[in-house]
């Protein structure tokens, strides 16, 4: 039914148009210079409609042509990107396998066919470093930096890591210092700094880094504590290298209270004081510490110290024995302090009790030395042979009774 009415409408319009043309055809004159064009109004309208139809057809054709061109361009672009991804994958495989030459070639070829070549250039720089080609390394790092406006930190971190591997620690430190200005919290920068400070044996720098390693959870807490203790021990050794007691004391004062209460660190400090002849200072430090924190290691050091008041030192250690009965290290220390007080019998008693509670090479040697000097050469030799047979180490120099014939 709708088709019928449409046809009827078209026929009516055609009849009306024909009647209008017959009644008044109209007139159009177009003049340009010496040229004139004459036509009826209706012919002009028809010509205009035809031109409009042609223009629309041309527009549609050009638009479809542009779409076709875009489709062709997109096809080649996608093909290029697929080829780039494929080469990048092969380059990564070669890199993991340690085939540096092949890896670098594939990665650089792929960099020209990808819209994100940063990773390609960074890995190519690493491959060049592995090949020992420093110029190529710098060139690819430069290309990586220019490939993206946000590549600066990644490039500098890679550069620092490569410098570290190459043993250029000062240069690596300078690079990481620049990185830290823009990326204070960057975990990779913190990890690399840790390795640089360890390599440089910059213990103060490493200690200053510890709070940040802990704050940003760069390592497990146990690892951080081990690293902190390593830095403390390294700083202690460095401070005491020149034998300057003032340097050592200043280093100790610079530590936090928690670090000063760390028993292994405190023991190392006391041992260094003893080594530098500051036994009185070490004795006071250990005496105060052992009141609240018991440590066999500290007691062993305490027994080696030459206090000004050896009677007081002996009385202090004997008080500890009430709470730590049978402690072999304390008994050994008491024997040595008794020797300093020239209490030969008491020293023997303590050494023998220490032997029964935990034989060690030092107890055997102390007993052997003491008994031999007390005239009991056979028994003394027995303990000495036992020490030689089972242990090997040196004894501290301590007073002995006059040797009997």
pLDDT band at 73 (very low <50, low <70, confident <90, very high): very low
Lookup: tokens for 80: 């290029």
- 70 or 160, which is more confident: 160
Domain that residue 84 falls in: 79-148
- Whether residue 209 is predicted with pLDDT greater than 90 in this model: the reply is yes
User: How many structural domains compose the chain?
Assistant: 1
Are β-strands 35-39 and 28-32 bridged in parallel, bridged antiparallel, or unpaired? antiparallel
Return d(Cα 108, Cα 143) in angstroms, integer: 10
Is 111 part of a structural domain of the chain? yes
CA distance 356 to 325: 12
CB 281 within 8 A of CB 305: no
Task: Of 85-94, 253-262, 372-381, give the lowest mean pLDDT range.
Answer: 85-94
2-15 confidence digits (pLDDT tens): 777 776 776 676 66
Residue 86 lies in a domain: yes
Looking at residue 79, what is its pLDDT? Answer: 66
Q: How far apart are the first and last CA of the chain?
A: 146
Residue 349 to residue 394: CA distance in whole angstroms: 22
Residue 230 lies in a domain: no
- Residue 144 domain-assigned (yes or no): yes
pLDDT digits (tens, 9 = 90+) for 330-340: 999 999 999 99
């Amino acid at each position: 039914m709708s088709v019928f009415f449409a046809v009827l409408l078209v026929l009516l319009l055609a009849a009306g148009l024909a009647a209008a043309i017959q009644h008044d055809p109209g007139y159009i004159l177009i003049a340009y210079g010496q040229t004139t064009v004459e036509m009826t109004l209706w012919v002009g309208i028809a010509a205009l409609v035809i031109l409009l139809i042609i223009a629309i057809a041309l527009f549609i054709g050009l638009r479809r042509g542009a779409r076709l061109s875009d489709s062709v361009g997109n096809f080649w672009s996608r093909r290029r990107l697929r080829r780039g991804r494929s080469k990048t994958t092969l380059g990564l495989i070669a890199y993991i396998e340690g085939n540096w030459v092949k890896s670098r070639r594939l990665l650089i070829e792929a960099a020209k066919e990808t819209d994100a070549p940063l990773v390609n250039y960074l890995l190519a720089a690493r491959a060049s470093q592995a090949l020992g080609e420093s110029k190529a390394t710098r060139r690819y790092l430069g290309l990586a930096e220019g490939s993206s406006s946000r590549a600066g930190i990644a490039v500098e971190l890679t550069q620092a890591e490569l410098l570290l591997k190459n043993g250029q620690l000062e240069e690596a430190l300078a690079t990481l210092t620049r990185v830290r200005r823009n990326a204070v919290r960057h975990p990779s920068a913190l990890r690399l700094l840790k390795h640089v400070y360890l390599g440089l044996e910059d213990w103060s720098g490493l200690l200053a880094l510890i709070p940040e390693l802990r704050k940003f959870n760069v390592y497990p807490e146990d690892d951080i504590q081990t690293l902190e203790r390593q830095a403390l021990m390294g700083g202690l050794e460095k401070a005491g290298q020149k034998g300057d007691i003032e340097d050592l004391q200043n280093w100790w004062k610079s530590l936090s209270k928690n670090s000063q209460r760390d028993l292994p660190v405190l023991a190392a400090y006391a041992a260094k004081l003893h080594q530098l002849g500051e036994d009185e200072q070490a004795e006071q430090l250990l005496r105060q510490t052992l009141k609240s924190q018991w440590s066999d290691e500290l007691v062993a050091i305490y027994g080696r110290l030459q206090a000004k008041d050896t009677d007081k030192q002996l009385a202090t250690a004997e008080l500890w024995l009430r709470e730590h009965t049978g402690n072999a290290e304390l008994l050994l220390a008491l024997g040595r302090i008794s020797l300093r007080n020239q209490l030969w019998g008491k020293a023997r008693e303590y050494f023998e009790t220490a032997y029964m509670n935990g034989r060690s090479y030092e107890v055997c040697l102390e007993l052997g030395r003491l008994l031999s000097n007390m005239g009991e050469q056979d028994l003394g030799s027995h303990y000495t042979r036992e020490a030689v047979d089972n242990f090997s180490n040196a004894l501290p120099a301590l007073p002995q009774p006059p040797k009997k014939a």
